[in-house]
Amino acid sequence: MTVLQVVRQQALPDALVFSGAVYQTAWNALTDRPASYGIKDYDVGYYDPDTSFAAEDRVIRRMAAALEPPLRDVVEVRNQARVHLWFPDKFGHRFEPLHSTEEALRRFVCPAFAVGVRLEEDGQVTVVAPYGLDDVFDMRLRVNPERGLAADWDRIISGVVSRWPELSVETPTW
């Protein structure tokens, strides 16, 4: 909740807290584990058409200044408009430019991973889940139907299953 509150206070455009901070928190609740079990970081995505490194760096520094340790060290802030600039070097293949933070979710490896949340000004939580929430609550991992099998699928899935062995995995046979 602290991360959501700080993101709201910083008024980042089209911002979502997403990925492991969301689905792993749900899995911890479903398996009676401590809330922060297995969560390596808290990903914050936002969308700003200014794709300069300087603009993103200002946002990263602003968020860091607004957070106290230990959160300051585990919150990762990224402008989704910049992903296509660094993705090929990090993952070895092209990545089409994104047009929103929600579009970023559509490209995640699994539908269960593609969930983001935002704390609105009125205190309501908006949930953005382009593939729905069934895979999260069913603790099911399957290939994103829009993306296809990720090159590092086995590595990603084995890491998650090692922390939540209750997960079911639907690996494609094609």
Q: What is the pLDDT of residue 173?
A: 63
Measure the CA angle with vertex 102, ends 100 and 108; round to 5°: 115
Length of the chain, in residues: 174
Q: Which CATH number goes with the domain that contains 116?
A: 3.30.460
Provide the residue range defining the domain that includes 127: 2-170
Q: What is the CB neighbour count within 10 angstroms for residue 172?
A: 9
93: pLDDT strictly greater than 90: no
Q: Write down the mean pLDDT value for the chain.
A: 95
Number of domains the chain contains? 1
Cis ω for the linkage preceding 70 (within 30 of 0): yes
pTM: 0.92
Give pLDDT tens digits for 119-143.
999 999 999 999 999 999 999 999 9
